[in-house]
A and B are shown apart, each in its own frame.
Chain A
């Protein structure tokens, strides 16, 4: 008797997902606990383990195809058993009309297990390469070249989406973003069909606004931050910090051969130190009660081409500033290449977001649940300062703390902020 494996809900509140990579093939035997596939969520990739043992009979969806959580993705049974008859293959070369029913998608792709010559897709070498590199599925693409060959023009619109994203960023997440583009346009009826005049790069196009399909990541960011703004009672405190000594310390540290730290690394150290000074502020809100954290697990905001991730550095208070710098750098790099693990983006009690490199003087950030606060760091600037009643020139950096009023009252937040300012203005103390 065969078992239908369905798309798991690997993350709470996620409604759809895709198999980024199959780890088994039809004919393979699997044991309980053996990884079957890498399931792609909005920001991370999760290995899905087999819950039943048996032989893989059929893989129902292709890598990169998004399906609803709960949709069938594979069949496991006894070797030699036939797969259930409902997975009859539909010819892949049909027109790409958006199906109102996402359940149609598995049926299209069940032919993946056999080589059926009568349904060979003719695709030009160029398109094959582009599809491979960008994770495009050619299912349902109609070929208008000779003999029904799929040629560049037939995938032009899909490539333009991808190219438009690529142009907007220096780093490009090839695995999830473009597949998400395609997925978004074929599986979700409200989004217009890609073959429609979505966008061309012709200069003669009119000045109508361009509709850009949303990636999975952007959707997730939108949902979570809306939730946060809507449900977490934010309040804000601002402080100016004198950072002359911080900048000097950074210079001295970087003069050491082989060491390179940023201003933000020292800021994050100061944040952790402030939590040592005011441990009650290291608390987060849960429905069961307030969670007092014993370590400073601080999320660092990393900007991506189509959104934002906040990987968490754990135990910042016990890291040297160079180790912290290395950890942040590693997380940021892997965030950009889509290589973050799920556990690395979960949790944390606080976050730091720094827009100083863009010259922003000050801003207020939105808290990332389940964290209780986020510190928005601005650019260091030369400014007039008063020292012993005398006007002088100093370097000022404005920070704004957004705090969750459910766990952080005004006074507590203010005390924490004061501790932070002290630490930042006396940065050597954070190294001790």
Chain B
């Protein structure tokens, strides 16, 4: 019989409930304020469902009716520099934060609806209806509700999508030396998704002041919690990550408040994250004004039982017992809330002249359709004051440098000049600069700013995104291999790539993502992609691909200065090259829209980037063809240098786009399409392309070589271009 020793988890796990004494001891202002907020939110949510029933809410309306207690109880005690973000069902949290912000957390029940509060109600409703006066100019709606000033970081339509970014916000709060905290709200459905679990681990490992607030309403759409998990006490998750966890009745707003206070003490004192699970119940179905029982996945009896625990009634009853208010007073509160919603609605709707007895949104309140692409990215005006230099036409003296050393050198220079820059990625703090030496020396030079992450791309990419949105820090995230973007795809494309546009176009997202193409290293099918093609599909991302060390310096400096997410592509083939940088100058930028012609010619325009620029030069030399070679430097649609491309194509009338990687994710497809449409009448033959094969490269050396493009393939393509140019035989 083996010996057994019971092991214990390191974090406490408690369940909290209130006693009569707690209610007695509670500050009457707190209770009154909670009652006020609960009623305002309830009236608001009822109105949203009415409008949804009238067909005036475009898209889903995820009602939080029944769950207000969890939101109000946890938020009313927060400051405006504390932050919250939530999920698709987030009106209650957003409103609680906004109301707390404008009222300082104290509401007067006799004059409940101040002008500021009326504005909050109206602008939130307008945003949900998709109108220009909304907080996100009508773009965000219900599921992308953001008001930074109030600390509302943004609800999120992806389940668990906001959690990684909340950890970034918390990191910024901690490292800026504040005692502020962030609460990330999600439901029982999200408690199982990878981004949440990764974020819990990361927050615990790095002791971030973030509360993972689980609203367990027992149903994920129509799936009962028992079907989805083994232990339905979802706060147990904290135990797995070493996070103190609280479990509390979400229909008791005071209990929620007290639990939050306890958790806040831990977070504000540097104790790291907390998990708070509240049991709540949404009185209606997932979406829309019908009860869940109408859809058959729960019973009317169950619904009735929970309605008896309505948080609005709970607080009112307790307050009446304590003599703090009477029934008439409660009704007055309700009436004020209803009147406020009436007033807000009247501002936004009018009688529909075409449908008797129906209402419609006032036509003039819609956003202008011209607004559709505004704010996809910033306007790069932040580069205005910086010194631009193009190494290709500068006489400045050079000094020798390995390419990879230039990376570390420019990073060091920028980190020394700008304390906001932090670097995160796997192993970047060890091994003398990560797996390739790109971050050499930085961990020693800048302790606390070079963060080796756990293997959780989704979480640490999102953490970087949260840092960027907060703005106090400028993150440089590394993906060890480009293919790892798939692991983090939601954070990369659905969150970081869209954060500016989706929330109205104003948010700067100054994040740099570095990765290295490793074709030729034998790492096989899942490690060797070129990310340019996929990133080019995401308009919020800018992309640079430096072909030499001097360009790397200028492009990285520009990337770090931009207020947009920028992908900086490196290549293992370039790292060890003995190259040159400009002597004693690591401060210049290379502007977007400035490609460089590496070789002038008249027979064909060869367009390439990164390591394939050199391969192209070799091929051109070999064939003796008088090709013009453009090194793009900037690859994304907004930053690519059309002027140089146009001038060249009009001269040569033939184009060859050269890249190394597999066909499916290749970069040149969109570029070729655009060139055909812009310069059709200048082309003497279709745009030709050099890419890798259909399949991803595999580990066998010969098969890998056969799958990617090299000098030989470019030679063949150049000769094809020449053959297609005809001529008397």
Contact = CB atoms under 8 A, between A and B. Distances in A.
Interface of A: 124-129, 143-146, 149-154, 195
Given A127-B684, A143-B726, A151-B724, 20 more contacts: A124-B684, A125-B681, A125-B684, A126-B653, A126-B682, A126-B683, A129-B682, A144-B726, A144-B727, A145-B684, A145-B725, A146-B723, A149-B685, A151-B684, A151-B685, A151-B726, A152-B726, A153-B728, A154-B726, A195-B728
13 contacts: A124-B684, A125-B683, A125-B684, A126-B683, A143-B726, A146-B724, A149-B685, A149-B724, A149-B726, A150-B726, A152-B684, A152-B726, A154-B726
Nearest to B681: A129
Contacts of B724: 145-146, 149, 151
Nearest first, the 6 A-B pairs at minimum CB distance are A144-B726, A129-B681, A151-B726, A145-B726, A124-B684, A126-B684
Nearest to A124: B684
Given A126-B653, A152-B653, A144 B684 contact: no
Contacts of A144: 726-729
B428 to A, nearest CB: 50
A259 to B, nearest CB: 42
Contacts of A149: 685, 724, 726
Contacts of A152: 653, 684, 725-726
A145 B653 CA distance: 14
B728 A126 contact: no
B290 interface: no
B371 interface: no
A125 B729 CA distance: 22
B493 to A, nearest CB: 35
B680 interface: yes
Interface string B711-729: 0000000000001111111
Nearest to A145: B726
Interface in B678-723: 680-685, 723
A124 B685 CA distance: 6
A149 B654 CA distance: 15
B417 to A, nearest CB: 50
B262 to A, nearest CB: 73
A195 B728 CA distance: 9
Nearest to A147: B724
Nearest to B650: A126
Interface string B318-354: 0000000000000000000000000000000000000
Contacts of B683: 124-126
B80 to A, nearest CB: 60
B685 A145 contact: yes
Residue from B682, B685, B724, B726 with most neighbouring chain A CB atoms (10 Å): B726
A420 B229 CA distance: 113
Contacts of B684: 124-127, 145, 151-152
B725 A126 contact: no
B interface, over-half SS: loop
B684 to A, nearest CB: 5
A129 B650 CA distance: 13
Contacts of A126: 653, 681-684
B654 to A, nearest CB: 9
A222 B243 CA distance: 101
B203 to A, nearest CB: 58
A145 B723 CA distance: 7
A154 B723 CA distance: 13
A113 to B, nearest CB: 27
Contacts of A145: 684-685, 724-726
Nearest to A149: B726
B680 A125 contact: yes
A126 B725 CA distance: 12
A254 B410 CA distance: 65
A95 B187 CA distance: 77
A162 to B, nearest CB: 16
A132 to B, nearest CB: 9
Contacts of B681: 125-126, 128-129
A144 B683 CA distance: 16
A124 B727 CA distance: 14
A148 to B, nearest CB: 9
A311 B724 CA distance: 48
A152 B726 CA distance: 8
Residue from A124, A150, A195 with most neighbouring chain B CB atoms (10 Å): A124
A125 B725 CA distance: 13
Contacts of B723: 146
B336 to A, nearest CB: 70
A162 B723 CA distance: 26
Contacts of A146: 685, 723-724
Nearest to A142: B728
Nearest to A133: B681
A154 B685 CA distance: 13
Contacts of A124: 683-685
Contacts of A195: 728
B645 to A, nearest CB: 16
Contact of B726 (A125, A128, A129, A153): A153
Contact of A151 (B680, B725, B729): B725
B638 to A, nearest CB: 27
Contacts of B685: 124, 145-146, 149, 151
Nearest to A132: B681
Contacts of B728: 144, 153, 195
A124 B683 CA distance: 7
Nearest to B720: A146
B122 to A, nearest CB: 56
Contacts of B653: 126, 152
Interface string B599-628: 000000000000000000000000000000
Interface in B643-686: 653, 680-685
A85 to B, nearest CB: 36
Nearest to B729: A144
Contacts of A154: 726
Contacts of A129: 681-682
A196 to B, nearest CB: 11
Nearest to B685: A124
B181 to A, nearest CB: 62
Residue from A126, A127, A129, A144 with most neighbouring chain B CB atoms (10 Å): A126
Nearest to B727: A153
Contacts of A151: 684-685, 724-726
Nearest to A150: B726
A54 B266 CA distance: 99
A153 B729 CA distance: 11
Contacts of B727: 144, 153
A195 B729 CA distance: 13
Nearest to A148: B726
A150 B683 CA distance: 12
A39 to B, nearest CB: 30
Nearest to B723: A146
B402 to A, nearest CB: 43
A8 B680 CA distance: 40
A378 to B, nearest CB: 44
B722 to A, nearest CB: 11
Contacts of B729: 144
Interface string B114-133: 00000000000000000000
A151 B683 CA distance: 10
A375 to B, nearest CB: 47
